[in-house]
Each structure stands twice: as C-alpha cells, then as structure tokens.
A and B are shown apart, each in its own frame.
Chain A
Amino acid sequence: MKKLAIGLYAALTVALMVWGFYQAIYVAPDEQTMHEVQRIFYYHVPSAMVAFLFFAISLAGSIGYLACRRNRAEWAQISDAWALAGAEVGVVFCTVVLITGPLWGRRAWGIWWTWDARLTTTLVLWLIYVSYLLLRRFAAGPQVQTLAAVLGIFGALDVPIVYMSNRWWRTQHPAPVFGGGEDSGIKDPAMLHAFAWNVIAWLAWGILILALRYRVERQHQKFAAQEAQEALDA
C-alpha cells in the first residue's frame, strides 16, 4: 500500500513537471523586453522558493536536534536527518538558481555576474550550506551533529537577508516579483498560470527527493547504530 502511494505520488510529480514545462514553453507568451530568454524565470524563481523552504526545514531540524539531543535520542536523530536532508536538497535547488541566474543575466544584462546584494547573499547562502555538507561528510566525532546544527541555524539566518536584499538595497537584480509594492506581480494571466504550475511542480519534485534523502539518512543512522552496538558487544 505504501509502495503504491509512493508510486502514485511519483507519477503525479512527473505529470506536473511535464505540464509545467508545457505551460512555460508553449502556453506563456513572450515577455515584451526580454523575449524568449525570460522563460528561464519559470525554473529560476520556483527553484529559489523551494530552496528557501528546504533551508527552513533544515533550520527546524537543527533546532529540533539541539532541543532533543540530551533527553530524547530518537527524536534528535529524526530531527538531524531532516536537517541534513533539507540542507542537501536545498543546496541542489540553490545550485540551479546560481546556474540559471547567470544564464539569464548574460542575455538580459549583458553580464554573467555582478556583486550586487541579491546575487552575493545567494552565493554566500550556497557556500554556508556547502560547508555544512562538507562538515557532515568529512568531520568525525560525537560533536559533529551539534556543530552542524549550529552551522545550519546560522546558515538559515542568511535566507531572510537574501529575500529582503532587493528590497533593502538597489540591485542589478530585478525588483521583487511578489510582495514588492504596488507595481509588483505578474500581470499576464497566462504567465501567472505557467509560474504557478511550475512552483507546484518543483515543490512536488522537491518533496519527493527530500523524502528519499531523509529515508536514506535514517537508514544510514540505523546501520551506524547497529554497527556501534555490535562493536560494543564484541
């Protein structure tokens, strides 16, 4: 029954991805000034939104781990697995943002990169979470999970700075599409629909790989605990 539900969810996600692609490429009209290259928007912005959400999950997991590590070991391990899964899948989405952004910028602005507030804070966010993953991968010892949780919390502090950067400072990056004042928002309904479908599709895809990553981490934790117990018994 569980396998059937996972299979159905995966099939629904693939259908959403195909539908989102169709909407972005064939249904949404060309934007007046940037023309076809503006269609990168339908992958770039949803990826950023999903990355932010997953960094928030990593933050919740990190806080949960620090809160439970002394008295509720099982909950602490579950929280830690969510923290790691959120950070890793968030980095994947943030990588997409940092690749599609310069591709779009090269055609729209004539440059691949500029050190403006939005771009720089996003790169810093990516670097913080990559260092989180490197810490998890290469450090050893009983304090690694605690150190990673603290780093995860500090990393998440950059998320609101990234979000607010093109509201607080003048940037090369365009003004916010949503929540940026009276002129913000997508005016064309076909563009809005294409954007909304792609947000839903990428969110569904992200949840699928987040759940898979969480499961792999839980398996790893159980295997490591079992090995440690056997080593003690031997």
Chain B
Amino acid sequence: MDERVLLDHQFTVAAYVVTWAVQLGYLAWLGLKWRAQKRNAARAARNPR
C-alpha cells in the first residue's frame, strides 16, 4: 500500500478512536460520580446526625 494512503488511514483511525475514547471516558467518569453520590446519599439516610 502507498505510504501516503497508509498514513491517511492511520490518522483517520486515530481521530475516530480518540473521539470515542474521550466521550466514553467522560461517560464512565460520570457514571462513577453518580454511583458515588448515590452511595453517599444512602449512607447519610442510614446514619442521620
């Protein structure tokens, strides 16, 4: 395969992969944050001051 074509392909794949990594990484972080908050709320409900 022509080197230019190969590099074009690799850069395109990299852009798509990075896009999904950023978006799914953020979604995962959000999910963890939500779960931690639910846990804190449940703990607070069990042990009121």
A234 to B7, CA, bound (A): 65
Return chain B residues, CB-CB under 8 Å to A134. Answer: none
CB nearest to A36 among chain B residues:
B8
Other-chain residue from A34, A36, A216, A223 in contact with B30 (beta carbon distance below 8 A): A216
User: Are B11 and A106 within 8 A (Cβ)?
Assistant: yes
Other-chain residue from A43, A205, A215, A227 in contact with B16 (beta carbon distance below 8 A): A43
Q: In B1-49, which residues have CB < 8 Å from any A CB? A: 5, 7-9, 11-12, 14-16, 18-19, 22-23, 26-27, 30, 33-34, 37-38, 40-41, 44, 48-49
Return chain B residues, CB-CB under 8 Å to A35. Answer: 5, 8
Return chain A residues, CB-CB under 8 Å to B34. Answer: 212, 215-216, 219
Secondary structure class of chain B's binding surface, majority of residues: helix
Return chain B residues, CB-CB under 8 Å to A96. Answer: 18-19, 22-23
A interface residues (Cβ-Cβ under 8 A, vs B): 21, 34-37, 39-40, 43-44, 47, 89, 92, 95-96, 99-100, 103-104, 106-107, 205, 209, 212-213, 215-216, 219-220, 223, 226-227, 230-231, 233-234
B interface residues (Cβ-Cβ under 8 A, vs A): 5, 7-9, 11-12, 14-16, 18-19, 22-23, 26-27, 30, 33-34, 37-38, 40-41, 44, 48-49
